[in-house]
Amino acid sequence: MTGPTARATGPTARVTGVEADAIAAAASPDALHDRAVRGFASDNYSGVHPEVLAAITAANGGHQVAYGGDVYTARLQEVFARHIGGPVEVFPVFNGTGANVTALQSMLPRWGAVIAASTAHINVDEQGAPERVGGMKLLTVPADDGKLTPELIDREAWGWGDEHRAQPLVVSITQSTELGTLYTPGEIRSIADHAHRLGMRLHLDGARIANAAAALNVPLRAFTRDAGVDVLSFGGTKNGAMLGEAVVVLDPAATQGLAYLRKMNMQLASKMRFVSAQLIALLEGDLYLRTASHANAMAARLRAGIEAASAAGSIRGVAFTQPTQVNGVFATLPPGVADRLREDFRFYDWDAARGEVRWMCSFDTTEADVDAFVAAIARETSGAG
């Protein structure tokens, strides 16, 4: 493959995130932050993968048509078509909330509603943007593991033709889910078939889609195109990009006016080539899988380390609340332990009322980071019953 990303993956190829931190520190020692500090708060806390940075640099210089008329955004269409199975229409955007709101808005009339798990990012972490900016109603159902099923969808899939009810016309699922769980391609296929049978469309929030592909060890198309997904929010940021996601339309009949809605929702980048170049860098080779596999492996190491230490009696009172299928570990801790751990490692409470926390791993999490954290958990829980 010739062109910008072929150049971009040259000299810096296979540099890890941590090596990149060292390179950056040598080149620019006076950063405002300590590059040695990493935690388990979010896969957004990490920096930019060096191959992505190189792709941004390679895309720099000269003039390119603004607002997506550039060669990088054109190439991106081909790259996505190869992964997802063409034809696709790809609309790069700034962030995941923007991708979700714009995608869903394009799939719905003014009277439309979206069925989603109550744990969905669109429901709990987008500040009401789907409702306020997108103007849609969310119909949510509790899902303990973050996953919808046809049966759960049926709790809200009713009332078509009733002028008093927001019309359920889209189902939105997240892969991998906000709770670090995974749908199999077959599970997505049965959701898509069910939604389509009822006259609804299927949207997939893929903020962590690369982690899912890596964990399932299948091509992206296996649980998107081949599973009946109509529109996808593709995530780059958590996968090593600086910023950049994309709305990917698999079935053009499922959307309307996306080009206009992207601008209306303030998601139309003038210098779009730099967003597109990042997504190309992730997807043209195997970078998206390398970063995601590494993050997943670090979460698996964290869980295995805690399990082993618990079995040996050196960690006490830690219980897992979800399976660890991708790059997040969810657990409950004895009272007070989370706050003591947070003196050295950042991470978030997930459900403070029941002492549940979330630990996220990233492309630049190291084995040493994980091992140090396991040792700290052992230290802080050793007195627990």
Ligand X SMILES: Cc1ncc(COP(=O)(O)O)c(C=O)c1O
120 vs 287, which CB is nearer to ligand X?
A: 120
Span 21-60, contacts to ligand X by CB under 6 A: none
Sign of CA dihedral 248, 285, 94, 3: negative
Helix axes 287-311, 273-283, angle to 10 degrees: 60
Binding of ligand X by 178 (CB under 6 A): yes
We find the least distance from the C-beta atom of residue 205 to ligand X, in angstroms, to be: 5
**Is residue 132 classed exposed, middle or buried when 0-12, 13-18 and 19+ CB atoms within 10 A define those classes?**
exposed
CA–CA distance, 60 with 41 (Å, rounded to integer): 32
| Cα(169)–Cα(157) distance, integer angstroms | 9
Is 328 near ligand X (CB under 6 A)?
no
Among 64, 140, 172, 174, binds ligand X (CB under 6 A): 174
Phi/psi at 222 (5° precision): -65, -30
The residue from 39, 92, 96, 185 that contacts ligand X (CB under 6 A) is 96
* 205 contributes a contact to ligand X by CB under 6 A: yes
User: Which window, 28-36, 53-61, 94-102, 371-379, contacts ligand X (CB under 6 A)?
Assistant: 94-102
- CB proximity list for 219: less than 8 A, separation 6 or greater: 83, 213
In the β-sheet with 319-320, what is the strand arrangement from edge to edge? 319-320, 328-332, 356-360, 348-351
Strands 89-93 and 319-320: unpaired
116 binds ligand X, rule: CB under 6 A: no
Q: Please report how close the Cβ of residue 307 comes to ligand X at its closest, in angstroms.
A: 25
Q: Pick the binder of ligand X from 5, 9, 12, 97 (CB under 6 A).
A: 97
| Minimum CB–partner distance for residue 243 and ligand X (Å) | 8
Binding segment toward ligand X, per CB under 6 A, in 91-99, 135-143, 247-255, 322-330 = 91-99
Please choose, from the candidates 179, 251, 249, the residue with its C-alpha nearest in 3D space to the C-alpha of residue 208. Answer: 179
For ligand X, which stretch binds (CB under 6 A), given 76-84, 96-104, 194-202, 247-255? 96-104
Q: Crossing angle, helix 273-283 and helix 71-84, to 10 degrees?
A: 30
219 to 258: interface string for ligand X, x by CB under 6 A: ------------------x---------------------
Would you tell me which residues interact with ligand X (CB under 6 A)? Answer: 95-97, 100, 121, 174, 178, 205, 207, 237
